[in-house]
Structure 1
Amino acid sequence: MKAVELFAGAGGLALGAHDAGFEHDCVLEWNRNACETIRENNQRKIIDWPLHECDVRNFDFKPFAGIDLLTGGPPCQPFSIGGKHKGNQDHRNMFPEVIRAIRETQPRAVMIENVKGLLRSAFSKFFAYVLHQIEFPEIVQKDDEDWISHLSRLEQHKTSKKSSGLEYKVVFRKLNAADYGAPQRRERVFIVAFRSDIEANWSFPEPTHSHEALVFDQWVTGDYWHRHMVPRKNRPVPTFTQVRIAKNLETMLIPIEESPWLTVRDGISGLPKPRVDRETFANHKTQPGARSYKGHTGSPIDEAGKTLKAGDHGVPGGENMILFNDGSVRYLTIRESARLQTFPDEYYFEGSWTESMRQLGNAVPVRLANAVAKSVHACLKRACD
C-alpha cells in the first residue's frame, strides 16, 4: 500500500507506517538536520524514502492522488503545553496544509498525530474546526471568511446531511506510548480518518502494556529485579502509590493480561557504558554537565521515562536525564533517547547532540505509530478483500 508523509521530522511516524506495510511514495520535511538524518539512513539502506526537502506550502500533492494513506505530524508548538499556546494564530499552524494534502491526494485513510495540548479547553473550538475540515476537505474556506465563519458553514453542512463529494469518517484519541511498548510516558493525540466509501468498522488498537503490570512485576513477584540482576540494596524504595497498587493486585483473582510498562532500564539494556571522549556505540556518547534541580530531576531508571522534549532554546535537562537509584544523574545519550523513542539501533541520527536530541524530542515513538498504522493497514486490506 502506498503512503505519503508530511512533516516527517526524523522519521518516527514514517518508520511505524513502513513497518506496518506501507510503502512511501513521498516524504516531506523542511528541517535541514532532520533531512540529513533521513538521507543518511537512505544511504545506509535502512529505509528507501523519496525525500523532498521543502516547505510543504509550496508542494503540489496532485501527482500522488489515489494513495492509500496520508500521514503527518504538523508542528506541535502552536498547541504544545510547553509552547506559547497561540494555536490557530501561530504562523507555524500547518493544519491548513494537511487539509489541502487530503483534498489533493484523496487518500483512502489519514493518520495525523500531535501533542496532547491540542485537546486543551482553550483549543476546543479550533480542534472541532480541524476535525470538520478533515471530514469535508472540499468545503474550502473563502477568501473573505474567517475560520469561525468557516466552522459554522462546516457545521451547517454536517447537520444538513448533504453530500459534499469527498468525505471522511473521523475519530481521535489520546494515546500513551508506554501503553504500546515504548519505555516512555508520552501522550499524543492521533486523528484517524477513512474515506466515506471505505467500509472501515475501525477502532483504535487496545493497549498491550500497563503500569499495573509493571508494579506487579516489580513489587509483587520481583521478577523485574531478577531479570535485570539488581540486588536488593540497589533497588529504590517503592512509593506509596506503588505499595497501594501492589497490595490491591495481590488480592485480585483476575490475572493481568497486558505486559509490564517498559522502564528506562529496559530501554537502554544491552548498550555499553557511554564515555565522554568517544562513542562506544553508534550515537552513544556522554554529554557532560547534567545536574538536578527543582523541576529537572530526570527519569528514574526503574520507571517508564518522562516525555522527551525538544526545547526551543536547547535540550530540557529534566526530561532528558537518567536519575539513578543512588541519586546521581546524567544526560541520556542520543542512542539511549532513540531507544526510548523505539527507533532501531541501526537508525542513525545526523547533527550535533543538541540537534539530534531536538529531532528525537519532536519524534513519534515508532512502536506507537506502528500500533496505529498496523491496525489501519489491516482495515484497508479487509476493505479490499
Structure 2
Amino acid sequence: MSHIEREPTSPAVFRILDLFAGPGGLDVAADVLGHRITGIEWDTGACATRCAAGMDTFQGDVRQYRAAFFPHAQVLTGGPPCQTFTVAGHGAGRRALDQVVQYIERLHEAVRAKNQDWREIFRTWRKILEELRRRELEAKKVTAEKRQLEDLTARKRRAMRKRLAQLGQSPEEIKSFLKTLKAPQTLEVPDDELKTLLEEFSSLNDALDKLRDRLEELGDERTGLVLQPLWWVIERSKRPGSEPYEAVVLEQVPAVMPVWKEYAKVLTSLGYRTGTQLMHTEAFGVPQTRRRAVLMARLDPTVVSNPLLPDVSETHERYQPGSLSTRRAKARHTDTLLWGVLGEDAEESPKEAWVSMEMALKTARSIKPDLPERPAFTVISNYGTGGDPEARGRRDHDAPSATITGKVSRNRLVHKGTDKELDDFNRFTPAEAGVLQTFPVTYPWSGNDVSQQIGNAVPPRLALHVLRQVLEPGLNKDEAKARLERATTALEAWKPGKPVKIRLHGNWEGHPLTGR
C-alpha cells in the first residue's frame, strides 16, 4: 500500500471485506481513508492488478466462501455482477430482477419468522441455492441444444445461398432475399428445392425462438450472485456465535436499484439504518457522467425510530449538455470573470463545478509528466446514441467524459470540432482511462483486458464519499468536508507499495480477518 503521510483522520479504523472486488476501486478509497480492506475477486486480470497495487486479495468465486470464514470483518462491501439486469424492463432483464426479488422476499420471510430459528433460515437459503443450481444445469442443456440448432440454421442458410446462385440470382438479389428470412412466410418461392429449404429454415427458427424464451425463463447463473451479499449479512446477523457487520455498502448499475430496495427491507429487519441512492458520479467530483445505484446500511439500535440514513450530499454540479449550469461550469474552468456575465456569483452556489476531462488529465500530468499532452479534442465513443449505432456519441475535452466502459480503448480522439484524428495519442492510455474513473495516475494496471477492468470498477472518488458517510456519521459538515478534501488529495497522490501475494481458498493462516 501507499505510505502517504496522513493527518489523524478516521474516528475508527474498520476492517472491510469487499466481495466482487474488481481491480480495487473501493479498496484504494478505503486505503486513503485509513481503513484495512480485503477483497474477494475471481478474475485473473483484476487479481494481477490488485497484486501489483498491494491490495489484500483472495482469488476465487464468492460462492466458494462464507461469512463464517472471515469472523473479524466489520464492514461488508461489494458490487455483484450486473449483466443480467442491464436490460431491466425488457424481457430477460426484467424477469431476472423479478426472480431475485422473489428470492429476497423468501429470505425476508424466514428472517421475520416468529421463532427466527437459524436452522430454518439456513434451510431456506439451501433451497434457494438448489433451485438456482437446477436452473443453471437445465440452462446449460438448453444452451447446448440451442447451439446445435444455430449450426443447422447456418447450414440451411448457406444451402439457400448456394441454390439461389444456381438459379442465376445476382449477389445483390441473394443478399436481399436472405435479409427477408426474418419473415419467410411472406416470400414467394417458385423453386421446389428452395421452398423446402425455406420451410426447414423457418421451422428451425421457430424452435430457436422457443429455446431463447426458455433460457430467459431459466435466467443466468449470475442472477444468484446478487443474492450473496445479502446472505452474508443474514449469516453474520443470525448465525449463533456470530456478530453482525457494523456497516454494509453495495453499488451497481441503476437497473439494480429495485434489488437494493428489497435488500433494505431485510436489513432494516436485522437492525440496520438503510439508504438507497442513485448517484451521478460527476456530482461527486468524478470527471465522468455515470450513474450508480448505491445501498448503504449502518447497524443502529435506534433503527425502529430512525430507520433511514441520509443521502450523500452532492459536492459538484451535475452535467447537462447545453444547460445554463453547464455553461456556467465551463466559464469557471476558463475565466472567473465570466461568472458575473452569466448571472452567477460564487457565493450563490455552494457546489463546485463538475470536473472536465481536461482538468483531470492536467492534474494527472502534474504527478506523472510523461502522460500525453494533447490539443483541444473531442472523444468519439465506440457506441451509438439515440438507438442509432452509426451516430457515435461525442464529448469535448472541456466536459466530463461519457461513461467509461470496457470498450474505452476503442474511443477515438479527434481534433475538437472535426473528425480528424489526433496525429499522436488518438486513444486514451490505460493510465488516462483510469484517471477518468478517478484512480490514481500511478495505479499499476496489470493482467489481461485492462480496459474491461477499468470500465467495471467503481470510481474511487465516489467510493470516498459513500464510505465517509456510512463509516463516519458523527462528523459535522465542516469536518466531513475537510476529511474529504484530505482524502481526495491523498487519492490523487497515492502510489503503490510492495506487491502482495494473492491468497487462494483455504489459505487462511495468519490472515487478520480469519483469526487463524
1:148-297 equivalences in 2 (<5 Å): 166-197=270-301, 202-210=309-317, 211=319, 215-218=327-330, 222-225=331-334, 249-250=342-343, 255-269=348-362, 280-281=370-371, 294-297=390-393
Shift of residue 193, structure 1, vs aligned partner: 1.0
Asked if the contact 2:329/2:354 (under 8 Å) is kept, the reply is no
Structure 1 pair 78–135 and aligned structure 2 pair: CA distance change class (3 A):
farther
Q: 2:462 aligns with which of 353, 363, 368?
A: 368
How many positions carry a matched residue from both structures?
Answer: 302
**What is the distance in 2 between the residues matched to 1:52 and 1:99?**
20
* Cα 1:113–1:198 shift into 2, 3 Å: farther
- Residue 92 (str. 1) matches residue 230 (str. 2): no
Structure 1 gaps of 5+ residues are: 43-48, 137-165, 228-245, 273-278, 283-288
CA contact (8 A) 1:66 1:108 kept: no
- What do you get for the CA RMSD once the two structures are aligned? 3.4
- Describe the superposition over 1:136-183 as per-residue Cα deviations: whole angstroms up to 9, x where unpaired: 4xxxxxxxxxxxxxxxxxxxxxxxxxxxxx432221010011011110
Q: Secondary structure of 2:83's partner?
A: coil
Distance 2:429 2:21 in 1: 22
| Structure 1 residue matching 2:276: 3-state secondary structure | strand
Shift of the 191–170 alpha-carbon distance from structure 1 to 2, 3 Å rule, reads: same
Structure 1 position 248, deviation (Å): 10
- TM-score of the pair, normalised by structure 1: 0.69
Matches within 5 A, 1:1-385: 1-24=14-37, 26-42=38-54, 49-65=55-71, 67-81=73-87, 85=93, 86-87=96-97, 88=100, 89-93=219-223, 94-105=225-236, 106-119=244-257, 124=258, 126-136=259-269, 166-197=270-301, 202-210=309-317, 211=319, 215-218=327-330, 222-225=331-334, 249-250=342-343, 255-269=348-362, 280-281=370-371, 294-310=390-406, 315=407, 320-322=411-413, 324-327=415-418, 328-329=420-421, 330-352=426-448, 355-379=449-473
Query: Is the Cα contact below 8 Å between 1:67 and 1:108 reproduced in 2?
Result: no
Q: Structure 1: which amino acid aligns with 2:353?
A: P
Q: Is the 8 A contact 2:408 2:433 kept in 1?
A: no
Task: Say if 1:63 and 1:190 are closer, same or farther in 2 by CA, change over 3 A.
Answer: same
- Contact 1:65 / 1:104 at 8 angstroms: preserved in 2? no
Aligned-residue offset at 1:350: 0.7
The 1:260/1:223 distance shift into structure 2, 3 A limit, reads: closer
Deviation at 1:254, TM superposition (A): 6.2
Distance 1:56 1:171 in 2: 25
Match of 1:92, as an amino acid?
A: R
- Partner of 1:296, secondary structure, is strand
User: 1:372 offset after TM fit, Å?
Assistant: 0.9
**Deviation for aligned residue 1:50:** 2.6
Q: In 2 relative to 1, CA 4–291 (structure 1 residues): closer, same or farther, beyond 3 Å?
A: closer
Q: Give unpaired runs (5+ residues) of structure 2.
A: 1-13, 101-218, 237-243, 373-379, 385-389, 477-516
Q: For 1:300-338, what per-residue CA distance to the aligned partner results, in whole angstroms no more than 9, with x for missing partners?
A: 21111101112xxxx2677x4445423245332211111
Mapped partners of 1:380, 1:59: distance in 2: 33
More helix by share: 2
SS of equivalent to 1:132: helix
Counterpart code for 2:397: I
Letter matched to residue 215 of structure 1: R
CA, structure 1 residues 192+349, in 2 after alignment: closer, same or farther (shift >3 Å)? same
Per the alignment, do residues 209 and 59 of structure 1 end up closer, same or farther by CA in structure 2, a change over 3 Å counting?
same
Distance 1:198 1:19 in 2: 30
CA positional deviation for 1:53? 0.2
Q: CA deviation at 1:132?
A: 2.9
- Counterpart amino acid of residue 328 in structure 2: F
Matches of 2:467 and 2:261, distance apart in 1: 23
- What is the CA–CA distance in structure 1 between the aligned matches of 2:342 and 2:416, rounded to whole Å? 25
Instruction: Return the offset for 1:23.
Output: 1.1
Which of the pair has the greater relative contact order for Cα pairs under 8 Å at 6+ separation?
2
Q: Distance in 1 between matches of 2:382 and 2:71?
A: 51
Find the aligned partners of 1:223 and 1:358 in 2 and give their Cα distance.
Answer: 33
Per the TM alignment, residue 99 of structure 1 is displaced from its structure 2 partner at its CA by 1.2
Following the alignment from structure 2 to structure 1, what is the Cα–Cα distance between the partners of residues 355 and 413? 15
TM-score normalised by the chain length of structure 2: 0.52
C-alpha distance 348-325 of structure 1, shift in aligned 2 (>3 A)? same
Partner amino acid for 1:34? A
